[in-house]
Structure formats: C-alpha cells, structure tokens
Amino acid sequence: MEFVVATTLAALTAGGTYLILRMRAFPVIVGLALLSYAVNVFIFASGRLIVNRPPILDKYGEGIYTDPLPQALVLTAIVISFGMTAVLVMVALGAYLESGDDRIDLNGPEAGADAAGGDAAK
Amino acid sequence: MNHWIIAPVILPAMLAPLIGFVMRHDISLARAASLAGSLALAVIATGLLILAADGETHVYKLGDWEAPYGIVLVLDRLSALMVFLTALLALVVAVHAVATGWDSRGRHFHALFQFQLMGICGAFLTGDVFNLFVFFEVLLIASYGLMIHSGGKERLQAGLQYVVMNLAGSTLFLFALGTLYATTGTLNIAHLAVRMAEIPVEDAALVRVAMMLLMIVFAVKAALFPVQFWLPGTYANAPAPVAALFAIMTKVGAYSILRVHTLAFGPEIGATEDLAGAWLFPAAIVTIAVGAFGVLGSKRLMPLIAFSVVGSMGTLMIAISAFTPEATTAALYYVVHSTFAAAALFLIADLVISRRDTDALVALPPTVQNGLFAALFFAAAIAMAGMPPLSGFLGKLFVLDVIRTPGQIGWAWSAILIGSLFTIVGFARAGSVLFWKATSVPQSDPAEGEAMPTPPVPARAMELAPVFATIVVLGLLAVLAGPVTVYFERTSAQLFDRAGYVGAVLGSDLEG
C-alpha cells in the first residue's frame, strides 16, 4: 500500500516537474495539473494510510479511525488548484492569442523582434 | 472576542462581489464604492492599531471553535501594523488608479483590487498555516487579474510567467504543509510552536525538510535569490498602480517568514533553530547584488524600479535573517519604509511614462511639468537608495547597526553600502536622462502636412496627491523615527514572546 502510493506520487511529481521545465504553455498546464494531483494525494496520505475505516470516532471513542483533517484540507486544495488551473488556461490562451507564441519565458522587449528565432529552443 | 478583528477580511470580501456584479456597468459607482471601502478599511485598521497597542494578543476564534481545533485570527502589534500599512497603501493606490483612469482601461479593476486587499489582510491576521495558504491563494488569484489588467502582448506574457511561477509555489506550499502535518499533527501556528519544542533533535529530519520547503515558498513571495527572477518581469509589466500595490506583496512573504519562523521554528527550538538564518543570510546578500546590478543595467524605467525593489528586499532579509528582537525592530522600520518608497517610485514613474509614451531611458524632449516630476522622482529615488533626509537613510542605518555577528558584519556592510552606491548611480543616471538631458533635446517640429501632436496633459492635483502622500509618509517616518521605533521595539518584543502568544491562542490548559 505505502509502496504503491509512494511510487505513484514520485511518478506524478517527476512527470509534472519535467513538463513544467518544457516552458511551453500546454505542457506547463498539464505539468501543473499533474503536480497538483500529486500534492493532493500527498496531503491525503499525511494523515497516515488507513483502509476501510470511517473518519469519525465510534460511540465510545474506541477502534481505529482515519484522520479526518487531511480530507478537509485536500478538499480545499482540490478546489483551489481546480480554480487556479482554469485561470491559468485563460491567461495562457490570452497570451497565446495576443502574441502568437506559447513560450513561458520572457526575452524582454529589446529582444522582442527576433523572438521567433533560434533562442526558442533553449 | 472583538469582532472588529475580522472586519479587514470581511469588508473587502463583501464589497468585491458587490462591485463585480452590481456595479459592473457603472465605473463611477464602482470607483465611489472602492474608494469608500478603502477609506473604511483604513479607519478600521487604525482602530485595530490602537486596540493592539495595549500589548495584548487578541484572538478571534472563527465559529467559536477552540484552537487548535478551529481556525483563529490573531491580532497583535505586528498584524495590526501590517494591516494598517496595507490599508494606507491601498487608499493611496486606489486614488491614483481612479485619478489616472487606469481602472477604466480594463474590466473589474476595483473588484479584483478589493479581493486582493482581502487576501493580504487575511494573510496578516491568520494564526493558522493552512489558512495562510488559503489567503495566499486569494491574494494571488486577484493579483493575476490585476497583473494582466488592460491587457497587451508583453503584459499577458509576463502575467502568464507570473501565474505559472506562483502555481508552482503553491504546490510547494502544500507539500510543505502536508509534511508538517504528518510530522507534528497540527497546523495552528501556536500549537506548532508547542509541538516543535517537544521534537527531539535526532528525529527532526522530516520537520526540517518541511520548514525549509515553507521558507522557500515564502522566499518566492519575498523575491529572495534564487527565486527572485519572477519579480522584475512582473513588476515592470504590471500596470503602475498595480505594481505600487504589489509593493506590499513582497512584504507578505517577509512577514510570513518572520511570523512562522520566529514562533514555530525560531530561537530555543532545537530541531530547527539556526537552520533558516544560515540560508537566508547569504541569499539576502546575493539578492542585494542582483538588485544593484539590475538597477545599473536596466534600459527602461519600470525594470529599474523593479530591481531596486529586489535590492530593498535583500536589505530587509538581512535584518530578518538574524531573528533577534533588535534586528526585527530594524526590519519592521525598513518594511514600512521600503513599501512606501517602492510605491512612490511606481506612482511617479506612471505619471512620467504616461506623458512620454515610452519608459525607455532615452532623452526625449521635455514634457509638461518637467521640474515638478523631476523633484518628485528625486525625492522618491533618494528614499529608495537610502540617502538622507528621508527614511531610507535611517532604515539602512538601523539594519547596519543591528548586524553585529563577526562572520556576517563584513558581508552585510559591504553588500548594503556597495548596493546603495550602485542604486544611487542607477537612479542618478535614470533621472538625468529623463529630466535633465531632456531639456537639451530640441523640440522636433512636425513634418509638413502632419498635424501638430497634441501636447501631454499636465498632471492634476488628484493625480499628484498620491505621490505627495507617499513622500510625506516617508518624511514623517524619518521625522518621527524615535516614537515609531519605540513602537517597533514593543512589536518585536511581543513577537519574540512565544509563551505569551501560545498562551493567548491555546488558553492555559495547553500551554507548554
């Protein structure tokens, strides 16, 4: 169980980081989405991995229960990351339509004229 | 429980949707509401400042849930000071945005502006690190909208970079909080302080990772090297009033480092003591260097000011990284000073640039009111560079005075003094090109057949008032340095009184 969750997290984080470093709008958006999935699972796991137990105490406060707080935290995190991704898509779309280019890194107004040239590859 | 404590969050939170939905088609109504809201916020913040001046730590329990089970807002001298600073700056910026017409160059300026204030005030007031994350997101999502206000190719590209940078930062924030919760089992700052003191040094590896992640996230907001690179592009391309408001955003990062580290990870907590300071200090030195070289190398006015902001954050972080009450007093003075100095520069730059059509540092024929603009720019620049008589000089002197550690003093003094020299040279060059050489450039006569270009409009009193207000604040800060410093001394004494904070938030039964 722990192994599966840990490797999933690692794969999601590595993929997300790689995609963000591509510095193009679409891979960056997908990369940030992957990272936010990873962090959601991570927060969920921060209350320890307990299977098939309710997040509430039973009548006498006995027995095993799973920590309810990370579930509340992760709900907040999901809502926020969803909203942020939507904003990011809109901004990226706006920037692409304005400039005809989906690069994330800036090259400054001085170099603006030769932006389409060779430094796009870096 | 004093309900006014939550008012700086509630007021903009109620006003913003009203402006966004009800007054969306009527700019003058939105302006009136936004200005009235900013004024009310300033009044409330003044009230809270007086309330907090008694030295007590006021706790507001949301839903009356006891901490650490519920979320708390905490008002002490530091929070009250920061909220007051925000409100004052917001009022100045709102007047500037209305007077210059920036707010009508795109939609929803005032709604986003109020949401931004809600996020900033909330971040200053909260006593819970997850709640701090939520308020960070509120202020960020509003700042995305403000950053790309009125659009344009370069601004949208810079905005996209800013959004991506901060989303990555938010993810890191959540990783830090997850690790922190997994190791300590709490996210309330006061409760964290109690739990951190109980963690033995040999079991502290994970919590040290969590703390450093958290510090990196705050360093992104505070524009500290090596995560400062988003700031020049963002500030230089943001609308000028927004850039002036963003002067407080870097301080949110600095405040978070100060608050969270001092209370939860700071002195006398064996597991994490000295860890952050050891990293923050060299980072601050490099940040000053980046700012100084940036100021020298800028070919446009807005990046020049943005780099001077980076440099001032470096100076501020040198004071913060010491984590002693004396150094924090100096840091607080410098926080107030650098916020208004940066705001003054961005506001005067806006008045100048809007009459020159370009912010490139090249000599153009003088526009209207050349002498007045030159004087204002000169005043703001000497404040930022740290020359007498304005508060920048005293602020830097305080910082230099508190750095006494033998290994640090040489680095800190050299960095601050050489950095100041570079900043002075950079600003002097910019000012002489913009205002002085301009007088020797002949007015070009329009070619035959072309219409005479319409001369730029002189700045009205309403447009000049915000700039004057910021410079007056800087002057007052220098004149009243004595009483102000006494207040800051009490503020930092209260900040370093961990037992007092924990006792106020958790009550006596959990006090440890």
Q: What are the tens digits of pLDDT across the range B337-352?
A: 999 999 999 999 988 8
Cβ–Cβ below 8 Å for B153 and A43: no
Q: Do A35 and B158 touch (CB under 8 A)?
A: no
* Residue (of B221, B399, B209, B211) closest to B321 by Cα position: B399
Q: What is the pLDDT of residues B418-467, one digit of tens each?
A: 999 999 999 999 988 888 887 776 666 555 555 555 667 777 888 888 99
Residue B193 one-letter amino acid: A
What is the rounded CA–CA span in Å between residue A66 and residue A50? 6
Residue B74 has pLDDT above 90, yes or no: yes
Q: Inter-chain contact B148–A99, Cβ cutoff 8 Å?
A: no
Q: B137 CB near a chain A CB, below 8 Å? A: yes
The yes-or-no verdict on residue B120 having pLDDT over 90 is: yes
Residue A60 maps to a domain: no
Q: Is the pLDDT of residue B149 over 80?
A: yes
Range(s) of the domain holding residue A81? 2-53+65-104
B178 and A106 within 8 Å at the Cβ level: the answer is no
The per-residue pLDDT for A46 is 87
B80 pLDDT tier (thresholds 50, 70, 90): very high
Q: Is residue A69 situated within a structural domain?
A: yes
Rounded average pLDDT over B407-414: 88
Q: What angle do CA B459, B109, B22 make, to 5 degrees?
A: 120
Q: Tell me how far the alpha carbon of residue B13 is from its chain's centroid.
A: 20
- Nearest neighbour of A84 by CB, restricted to B148, B160, B167: B167
Q: What is the pLDDT of residues A66-108, one digit of tens each?
A: 888 888 899 999 999 999 999 999 989 988 888 887 787 766 5
**Token pair for residue B483?**
């009483």
- Going by pLDDT thresholds of 50, 70 and 90, the confidence category of residue B233 is confident
Q: Is B148 on the interface with A (CB under 8 A)?
A: yes
Out of B130, B299, B300, closest to residue A73 by CB: B130
Partner-chain contact A99 B164, CB within 8 Å: no
Burial class (CB in 10 A: 0-12, 13-18, 19+), A56: exposed
Asked if residue A117 belongs to a domain, the reply is no
Please indicate, yes or no, if residue A93 is contained in any of the structural domains: yes
Residue A111: per-residue pLDDT? 41
CB contact under 8 A, A83 and B141: yes
Using an 8 Å CB-CB cutoff, list chain B residues near A85.
167
Q: Return the CATH number at A69.
A: 1.10.287
Owner of token pair 């926080």: B335
How many domains, in total, are found in chain A?
Answer: 1
Residues of A with CB below 8 A from B134's CB? 76, 80
Q: Is B73 helix (H, G, I), strand (E, B) or coil?
A: strand
Taking alpha carbons only, the member of B192, B387, B342, B344 closest to residue B271 is B192
Q: Does residue A118 fall inside a structural domain?
A: no
CB contact under 8 A, A87 and B141: yes
Stretch among B66-70, B95-99, B234-238, B363-367 having the lowest mean pLDDT: B363-367
| DSSP symbols for B218-277 | HHHHHT-TTS-THHHHHHHHS-HHHHHHHTTHHHHHHHHIIIIIIIIISTT-TTTTTHHH
Examine residue A89 and state whether it is found in any structural domain, yes or no: yes
Give the closest-approach CA distance of A27 to chain B in angstroms: 11
Q: Where in chain B are the domains?
A: 3-442+460-506
Domain-located, residue A121: no
The reply to whether A113 falls in a domain is no
Chain A residues with at least one Cβ partner in B under 8 Å: 20, 25, 28, 32, 35-36, 38-40, 42-43, 45-48, 69-70, 73, 76-77, 80-81, 83-85, 87-88, 91-92, 94-95, 98-99, 101, 103-106, 109-110, 112
- 3 state SS for A10-74: HHHHHHHHHHHCCCEHHHHHHHHHHHHHHHHHHHHHCCCCCCCCCCCCCCCCCCCCCCCHHHHHH
Predicted-complex ipTM score: 0.86
- What does the pLDDT look like over B475-496, one tens digit per residue? 999 999 899 999 999 999 999 9
User: Among B148-162, B329-343, B381-395, B461-475, which range has the highest average pLDDT?
Assistant: B329-343
The pTM of this model reads 0.91
